[in-house]
Homo-oligomer: A and B are copies of this chain.
């Protein structure tokens, strides 16, 4: 079981964004450089995070992006559910499983996933940056 790289990088980007002075504009290049990620990945992720309102993006020359909500208003359970392509742990249709109409596995897995997301939903992005000095040092963000 893994989160997608897309979700993993989105979390890294949101942490970096949340540690910035309020409304400081970031560029794709800056985030690409700081985490040594592929520019193509970062572009797609920033676009997605913008669509979902987690980042505010400003187009054109002098544009960029900044965190779109307060860190404490970015719920980790909701965020991960929005970023992951699917939270269904098995796909009974691919290949189609002949017992799927009577199988109890999906309901047991759903119960376990509900418990998983309930824990995540008790945390927000603010909990991921509750040690801002250490993180800012590691990311070379000046105070």
Chain A residues within CB distance 8 Å of chain B: 1-3, 7-8, 11-12, 15, 34-37, 76, 84, 86-91, 95, 97-99, 101-105, 108-109, 111-113, 115-120, 123, 127-128, 130-131, 134-135, 138-139
Contacts and interface: CB of A to CB of B under 8 A. Distances in A.
A8 B91 contact: yes
List the number of copies, as a whole number. 2
A138 B117 CA distance: 33
A139 B98 CA distance: 7
A17 to B, nearest CB: 13
A117 to B, nearest CB: 8
Given A15-B99, A34-B98, A86-B1, A104 B76 contact: no
A89 B113 CA distance: 13
